[in-house]
Copies of this chain bind each other. A is one copy, B any other.
Amino acid sequence: MKILLTNDDGIFAEGICALYEALYEEHEVYIVAPEAERSAVGHAITIHYPLRVNKVKRGRHFWGYAVSGTPADCVKLAIYELIGPVDLVISGINRGANVGINVIYSGTVSAATEAKMLGYPSFAVSVDGFEDIDFCFAANFMADVIQKIDEFQITKPFCLNINFPNVNPCCIKGIKVVRQSTAPLKEFFDRRIDLHGKVYYWQGAEEHTESSPDTDVIALKQGYITITPIMFDLTNYARLSSINKLAKLLDQII
């Protein structure tokens, strides 16, 4: 299989290396990833600045293409210019979970979404931890999934957001297919004063306020590997008919 790997942690991040190690013997694997960390850039693309691409080595060997843009830029540039069509795109493995409200801010998930928008099946893969992360289990799990992907007969293109708990593999409780939690985060801004007496703010967020067990947030917290199918059509279909009534009233304005 011809596989494109990308991420938002940057081309030399441990997670993308682990994926490569688990896949390169069985597949034709290419890496096109941001030259440095691009977390929380969501589905940003670079249209007001030119993009630069550098071939980079890991040790003595060609490793991949480092791009000056965002994860979504990497996918487009890989497909249209650097690699051509692929069989599959995998974004990750990300340091830190991508669940709940945070999915919309995630560069990792946006790269996978972009792949689906271009017509390619994709996975976004994350581990719920920032220290002492075991990327190997997630990487080998993904290799197994890919080996069996055709057996599963999933309609293509798909975009699956997969999150792994950062626990000893024997403690993983199983796999749950769950919806994205939409419960709000507890957010805050930390107001500080710089050395010149001027104000600046750090943006932060605490725990998700979710409690429903059929969500990614809670299932992951309970020790399950979570899978959420992701779409890019943002139309709120449930609201179309009620807004239609509004439009009829508005028609009287113009």
Contacts and interface: CB of A to CB of B under 8 A. Distances in A.
Interface residues of A, number: 89
Copy number in the complex reads: 2
A126 interface: no
B80 A158 contact: no
A132 to B, nearest CB: 20
Nearest to A225: B254
A130 to B, nearest CB: 13
B37 A48 contact: yes
A50 B189 CA distance: 10
A220 to B, nearest CB: 14
A195 interface: no
Given A203-B73, A244-B177, A47 B51 contact: no
Residue among A47, A73, A154, A174 with the highest chain B CB neighbour number at 10 A? A47
A169 B254 contact: yes
Contacts of A37: 48
B174 A251 contact: yes
Contacts of A240: 177, 179, 229
A235 to B, nearest CB: 4
A94 to B, nearest CB: 14
Q: Which 10 A-B pairs have the closest CB atoms?
A: A42-B43, A229-B239, A229-B236, A231-B236, A50-B200, A179-B235, A42-B42, A51-B201, A175-B247, A44-B44
